[in-house]
Amino acid sequence: MTRINSPSRYTPVPRTPVASAAGQSSTRRRVLVVDDEKDIVELVAYNLGRNGYETLVAYNGNEALDIATRQLPDLIILDLMLPGIDGTEVARRLKADAATAGIPIVMLTAKGEETDVVVGLTLGADDYVTKPFSMKVLLARVSSVLRRAEPVATGVAENGILKAGPLTLDVQKHEVSVDGEAVQLTLTEFKLLSAMISARGRVLTRDQLMDKAMGTDVMVTDRAIDVHVTAIRKKLGSANWLVHTVRGVGYRLRENPEDND
């Protein structure tokens, strides 16, 4: 296998401008690949490079945290089983740090059991791919998660602001607050909450939420959606009543605690 000349793992690398469709320069997306298996790192980095991404690499949890905090990649592909600090702890620390909390994470792991996936999603991961994996599937997931990170199209609300009870969501800035207090959500959680607010009280099935938040090209279990919704409720704190479960159907957002079905 040809060894990949990936960017330095320790020195910040200037992002390379590339021509956009309009002829203006844009910035290539930077992806950090974290895995203790060098063959996998090189294979993933090579294919990311072929698809227009810049790559950074790390082979253990300490390196991953160091690179993520200093170079702030646009996305992290993270193996759960790492020497030293494992992937779940890396994800927990990244999501606990305001500087890195917004970086989307795609888990790449041999742990395919639902409980392992649920743990990763609960920690704030945005998607997962299990080993052995298809490179096309991994690239599709990376592309899908990065699309979800893009600003929501204008016109969904005046000035890009959505409101429901004490909840305010700025779709342009990707900011959420409850009674003026900031709430830190992952990209997937943000998209799910935005979809529920935009539905204006209508019930959204789990399939509809999957499509609106993750795209139609992503396979996600109902359980994964439930985990994300549970995380949203926890982060909303005393305003968790906003997200209402409609048994056997899905979820909807309500304007006040007494607004029951």
Q: How far apart are the first and last CA of the chain?
A: 60
d(CA 9, CA 63): 8
The label of the residue with tokens 């395919």 reads 112
Number of structural domains found in the chain: 2
pLDDT tens, position by position, 43-63:
999 999 999 999 999 999 999
Domain boundary residue, one of 108, 126, 149:
149
- Same domain, yes or no: 177 and 144: no
* Residue 10 resides in a domain: no
* Residue 12 resides in a domain: no
Using the predicted structure, report yes or no on whether residue 163 has a pLDDT greater than 90.
no
pLDDT tens, position by position, 110-133:
766 667 777 777 777 888 888 888
- Same domain, yes or no: 112 and 226: no
Could you tell me the residue range of the domain that residue 70 belongs to? 17-149
Tokens representing 206 are: 């789990």
For the domain that residue 199 is a member of, what is the CATH number? 1.10.10.10
pLDDT tens, position by position, 182-216:
999 888 888 899 888 887 778 888 888 887 776 65
- Same domain, yes or no: 78 and 164: no
On average, the pLDDT of the chain sits at 79
- Same domain, yes or no: 198 and 127: no
The pLDDT value recorded for residue 218 is: 54
- The DSSP code sequence of 81-119 is --SSS-HHHHHHHHHHSTTTTTS-EEEEES--SHHHHHH
Domain boundary residue, one of 91, 121, 149:
149
The label of the residue with tokens 């991953």 reads 64
Domain boundary residue, one of 149, 180, 200:
149
For the domain that residue 117 is a member of, what is the CATH number? 3.40.50.2300
